[in-house]
Amino acid sequence: MNDPRIVAWLAIFGVALAAPPALAQTKPDAAEAPPAPVEASLAVGALQIGSAANLAIAGVDIHVEKDSVTYSYFLKNAGTAEVGFTAAVSLPELQASGDRSETWTLASNDPENFVGLTITSAGAPVTTKAEVHAYSLGLDRLAEIKAEHLPLIPFGPELDKTLAALSPDAAARLAALGLISPREAGQKTPPVPDWSFSVVRTWRQVLPPGKTTPVVIKFTPVKGHYRLVKDDQQGLDDMKDDFCLKPETLRALQSRLQGTGAWKVTEIALSHDAPARWIDSPRPTLSVQKPKPDVIVAFCGMDDKSAGKPSVFGAAPEDSNETRVVIFDPAAN
């Protein structure tokens, strides 16, 4: 779930925009605070389903707003009998950044549903079961983490506080299991958590015969945030391939940076894997609601004719299982 290309690009690009030169980051001046971590995006998994006779995917729509994403799957049962199968959605895999250069903002501290995921089938709420794992050294250490009363999400102020209060014996135990990296001698910061945390929400999906059933999955996206200012014009040019920026869009973005303006940038990562490998699935359609009329929205597969409208439309690229939507919001320099 955690695409290293996205995290690495944001970490490198975002720190380059917001922080002093790399040498200064390695050995910061005593009078300067360390650079703030880059806020990165993560993708919630697309719907995955088991096999069933007479099942077809009639359509997939993805609607994006600044603080919510809605996936609508239209599942058709072409048979004369009811069919049932397992369905699943994977939440983003969470792992602390070893160098603390990046961070993530979650919708909730609930470790089993930290994106506020809700699911409906034909308009009725669906009850899901959480499959939860915490891996270190390839082993599931969920029981050990719970036994030490540690938060399951491997980053954040609550975990830092808990790790800082560990007794020497408890810290040694967790380090031996590979769950934390211990402090160096004289180090005041808490130990670094070394586990990854994953959650899959599953349920039994039932489709009535001869009907198309909408299954709607809604959640709060884990967004990335960074800022572009005058000195970042070359960096903006380097972004054009990543976000399929058209020449006219690139000129509009650079024009603002050439004056006294800046851009606040929000990035949302969308997974659009097909629901199943064994069945043909149509190309998902995308719509992005602009939070304000003066923002610029871009993503690969966008219909350029809708660029200036309140809702921007397009389709998921055929050569990728993930789309990155970027929203440029005008700001003062």
Query: Worst-scoring range by mean pLDDT, 71-75, 95-99, 140-144, 271-275?
Result: 95-99
- Characterise 29 by phi-psi region: left (phi > 0), alpha (psi -120 to 50), beta (else): beta
Instruction: Say which CATH number the domain at 255 has.
Output: 2.60.40
Mean pLDDT of 236-256: 90
Q: Is residue 89 part of a domain?
A: yes
Residue 14 has pLDDT above 70, yes or no: no
Percent of the chain having pLDDT more than 70?
Answer: 86
What's the pLDDT score for residue 22? Answer: 29
What's the pLDDT score for residue 98? Answer: 66
* Mean per-residue pLDDT over the chain, rounded: 88
Q: Is residue 173 part of a domain?
A: no
Measure the CA–CA gap between 284 and 309, rounded to whole angstroms. 20
Q: Is residue 177 part of a domain?
A: no
Question: What is the DSSP secondary-structure string of 26-77?
Answer: HS--TTSPPPPPEE--B-PPPPEE---TTEEEEEEEEEEETTEEEEEEEEEE
- Could you tell me the pTM of the whole model? 0.86
Q: Helix, strand, or coil here: 194?
A: coil
Tokens at 126, concatenated: 């669906």
Query: Worst-scoring range by mean pLDDT, 146-160, 200-214, 236-250?
Result: 236-250
What's the pLDDT score for residue 236? Answer: 84
Torsion sign (Cα): 110, 115, 119, 123: positive
N- to C-terminal Cα separation, the chain: 34
For 168-200, write each residue's pLDDT tens digit. Answer: 899 999 999 999 987 666 667 778 899 999 999
Q: Is residue 215 part of a domain?
A: yes
Query: Worst-scoring range by mean pLDDT, 29-43, 132-146, 319-333?
Result: 29-43
Q: 10 falls in which pLDDT band (50, 70, 90)?
A: very low
Question: Domain range for residue 61?
Answer: 4-141+195-332
Backbone angles phi, psi at 166, to 5 degrees: -60, 140
Q: Which residues pair with residue 125 across a beta bridge?
A: 120
Closest CA to 40 of 21, 64, 15, 20: 15
Query: Worst-scoring range by mean pLDDT, 115-119, 248-252, 296-300?
Result: 248-252
How many folded domains does the chain comprise?
Answer: 1
Q: Which residues pair with residue 136 across a beta bridge?
A: 139
Query: Worst-scoring range by mean pLDDT, 19-23, 48-52, 215-219?
Result: 19-23
Closest CA to 136 of 149, 125, 127, 145: 145
Q: Please give the distance of CA 51 from its chain centroid, rounded to a whole number.
A: 27
Q: Is residue 172 part of a domain?
A: no
Measure the CA–CA gap between 154 and 65, rounded to whole angstroms. 27
Q: Is residue 49 part of a domain?
A: yes
Checking 250-255 for CB contacts under 8 A at 24+ apart, the result is 252/296, 253/228, 253/296, 253/328
Q: Is residue 318 part of a domain?
A: yes
Q: Is residue 169 part of a domain?
A: no
What's the pLDDT score for residue 38? Answer: 84
